[in-house]
Amino acid sequence: MDNLSRRKFVTKSSATLAALATLPAAPLFAKSLDDSGLAEVFKDDFRVGTAISTDTLANNNKKMLALIAQEFNTITAENDMKWEMMRPSLDQWNWKLADRFVDFGSRNQMLMVGHALVWHSQIPDSVFFRNSGKAKSREELLTIMEEHISTVVDRYKNHVAVWDVVNEAVDVKVWRRSHWHNIIGSDYFEHAFRYARNADPSAHLIYNDYSMDNPDKQKFVVRAVRDLRKQGVIVDGVGMQLHAALDGPSVERIESAILRFARAGLRVHITELDLDVLPQVSDYTGADISTNYTYAKRLNPYTSGLPKSVEAQHTSRYTELFELFVKHRDKIDRISTWGTTDGESWKNGWPIKGRTNYPLLFDRGYRPKPAYFSIKDLKLQK
């Protein structure tokens, strides 16, 4: 942390992203709007960002980092603020890559999103269980949760303005039966947000989840957030991950979700946008990281490149999504893709390992794809 403490950081302006939107955008090197990055093109609408991978941070991928600095003004740590990376055991902290993430974001005056403080996945079993295999008590786990949240949030206070406090806690109409839930109870959700708010009262706190286009899930989340308000705990925004496919979810379902969350007083963040172009394995539309299917060649048809017809669908789909986002720019604070180039996308390994996918706006050679130019044209042609 020494290198961080010596630097002069940009301080968060307020607890709301409406105010955060006034922060200066990342430096952009283009001289004309046509050549500007996405952040500059959409500066009057919302912030545009990406997730930075462990590989990019660990290997100091200068080409990738330069592209990110050119195109985006908000970043999320894809993995390096998750529990297993930052704290592989209860008595061991590893700040190296998280510090590197914060250093990069601060130097480029970017809005940084911490992801994620409380999640059921990518977390050591020792958080929940003793060496004997017996589960820890509710009181023990609450103490661990509070200590973890306060330590992480306090370390990056005045640097990280936004936190995904709880990630993927809802299974459509009920709470996910995670270790957090099973040991503490459903009020772990309340405690997580209370601890985060106490650690940094000015932070913008988010609940983040996939399949947020599902009306039943929306209803459950809105009710949970309202229940927290009655307890004096404020959730500022909701993260719609939006891991989409060529044929769904529909624009109408996404729009309905945006409107519902906005009516509930929540700022909307599109947090993990990508667009799967490969054949779907089943009718499962979620994004549970534990989901896994067997590889079959027919499910990996584009190993030599994406056919023009599919590329056209990819472009059209991204364009209609951004048309929707611009339409509701008064409700949306941020659009973040889950990765920058196709080669680094998690979709190459999920839900089937070893496939070649094309879900993002830049190809494996760091070049912008047709979808990139199409969404920019939404603004440039006006």
Which residues are part of the catalytic machinery?
Answer: 168, 272
d(CA 331, CA 173): 25
Identity at 14, one-letter amino acid code = S
- What's the burial of 201, exposed, middle or buried (CB within 10 Å: 0-12/13-18/19+)? exposed
Strand partners, 239: 208, 269
Residues contacting 193, CB < 8 A, separation 6+:
165, 166, 205, 228, 233, 234, 235
Omega of the bond prior to 249 within 30 degrees of 0, cis?
A: yes
Q: The dihedral of CA 25, 235, 211, 348: what is its sign?
A: positive
Pairing of strands 174-175, 204-209: unpaired
Cα–Cα distances (Å) from 329 to 45, 46, 93, 335, in that order, read 5, 6, 39, 10
Tell me whether the omega of the peptide bond preceding residue 27 falls within 30 degrees of 0, making it cis.
Answer: no
Closest C-alpha to 38, from 347, 359, 335, 351: 335
| Residues 195/142, Cβ–Cβ less than 8 Å | no
